[in-house]
Structure 1
Amino acid sequence: MAGLVRMKGRVGRPLLIALIVIVVVAALGYAYASPYIALDRLKRAADSRDVETVNEYVDYPALRDSLKLQVTGLLTRRLDVQHNGNPLAAIGAMIGVALIGPLVDAYATPDGVAALLNGIPPRGEPGERPPPPPAARADNPAPNSPPTPAPASSQANANSNTPPQPPQTTAGYRGVNEFVVSYQHGVGDTRYAAIFRRQGLFTWKLSAVDLNG
């Protein structure tokens, strides 16, 4: 009887070790894939206007701080280029500062998140707001609105039956606790990035943007 118990112990120990190894490997695999899963879930939720799910995957205070910093830098660089040596530069700077708050408020929203994840970052234009997600535009077309003339390039694309191309997207880790999704519409075009940061072992949230290209 004692020999049977020892035999069961010898058989059970390797099985237990194998199960522990399987669990550890599975946990590490899920931990590595977790930001990709968060990105996919957030984009789907933002495009479908699932606000509750979007809120789970966005750190809005951190995103607002990042947007404010990045848009300020964007406008500063633009003013430096356009108004270098111009006495009206100070007026332009004041106008630019006045734009920052409303623009940040507009982009630190589910619609703004959808725009960021669809290749439409803020550009610092007066009165700029993110376009509604594709699903929202399809569900709520503007009533009694006359068709807007398409620019020549758009008409050419329509005539050639070539749909608008989505931005080129790359995603990957930038450190253990930071995951970066970069967007670029074409060679030579400005790049920008959406930045996810780890909160806990498996949880990731959109926390910042990088508009510097």
Structure 2
Amino acid sequence: MKQCPACNYELTFDEQSKSDGKCPQCDIYFAKYLARQSQAEAAAKGTAARKATEKKSSGKLVYVVGAALIAGLGYVAASPFLVVHSIQSAVERRDADALSSHVDYPAFRQNMKDQVNARIMADVATELEGNAFAAFGAAIASKLVDSVVDAVVTPAGIARMMQGEKPTTAVIKAGGSGGEMPSTEGPQDSGVPSDPTQPAKKPFEDASMGYQSLNRFAVTFTDDSGEEVSFIFYRHGLADWLLTDMTLPLPR
């Protein structure tokens, strides 16, 4: 007994012989109905396959974008360490221009002048009662600060301070304002009394470094006199950093 694929009506033998491929109950032609069903199933399978492909492609895109984002964030986080490494390489190559590309000279000079002047005024406050000439001496000393700081804040002076030399020593060895970049190979320069057998220090040798805030990064080390100093970098843009400040050792 034949059954209609549309309405499930079961045809009798007599109806089957007279139906001519058509259901007497719902007037559906079996062949046409089955052809449409086959087309619908094929279309459904195609749609499912397309959606699966799109989902897979979307998943790959999300993975690629996510990996790129993570890599970008990693680069931004590592950017100050990369800048410090670039500075170390510049000093070792004695490349003043490469070093200068990472230094904000106006801000660096002003910050050093502010620190020195603040200490001069603190000394004046202590000595003023017992010394009538303290204020006069402080005024003269303050005027000398500009020339001294300008002499030390040069590529050569900064490079030497990065090697642990005190600012005054750096000025002498650099030959005053300007001067040549120091060597990081062989014995130390003999411009001032020192042990000629002592090898030159690498820039930021034995330094510790890390973020102090989202936009501030510090490199801290001990200078030749055993005092702790820090070079301060500030973020410029997303992944660039400039040397902007140096915290001088506290007076003993």
- SS of the aligned residue for 2:167 comes to coil
2:150 pairs with 1:135: no
Corresponding residue of 2:13: none
Does 1:183 pair with 2:231? no
Contact 1:46–1:113 (8 Å) recurs in 2: no
Post-superposition shift, 1:137?
A: 9.1
CA RMSD of aligned residues (A): 3.4
Instruction: Decide whether aligned partners of structure 1 residues 87 and 113 sit closer, same or farther in structure 2, where only a CA change above 3 A counts.
Output: same
Q: Structure 1 residues 117 and 128, CA, compared in 2 at 3 Å: closer, same or farther?
A: closer
Unaligned runs of 5+ in 1: 142-146
Is residue 31 of structure 1 aligned with residue 68 of structure 2? Answer: no
What corresponds to 2:85 in structure 1? 40
- Percent of pairs identical after alignment? 27
Counterpart in 1 of 2:248?
Answer: 211
TM-score computed with the length of structure 2 as normaliser: 0.64
Indicate the structure whose relative CO is greater, using CA pairs within 8 Å and at least 6 residues apart.
Answer: 1
8 Å Cα contact 2:155/2:181 also seen in 1: no
Q: Is the 8 A contact 1:46 1:133 kept in 2?
A: yes
CA distance in structure 2 between the aligned counterparts of 1:79 and 1:129, rounded to whole angstroms: 27
How many residues matched? 196
TM-score with structure 1 length normalisation?
0.74
CA contact (8 A) 2:184 2:200 kept: no
Instruction: State the partner residue of 1:66.
Output: 111
Query: What amino acid does structure 2 have at the position aligned with 1:36?
Result: F
Q: Distance in 2 between matches of 1:78 and 1:137?
A: 40
Match of 1:90 in 2: 135
Q: Which residue of 212, 228, 239 maps to 1:174? A: 212
Asked whether the 8 Å contact 2:90–2:98 carries over to 1, the reply is yes
Cα distance in 2 for residues equivalent to 1:149 and 1:16: 62
What are the Cα deviations for residues 139-198 of structure 1, in whole angstroms up to 9, with x where unaligned?
A: xx8xxxxx88956xx48xx5xxx7577764211111000001112148x93222110000
- Say which one has the larger Rg: 2
Q: What is the rounded CA distance, in whole Å, between the counterparts of 1:106 and 1:149 in structure 2?
A: 17
Deviations 1:192-211 (A, max 9, x none): 21100001110100011111
Structure-1 separation of matches of 2:140 and 2:57: 73
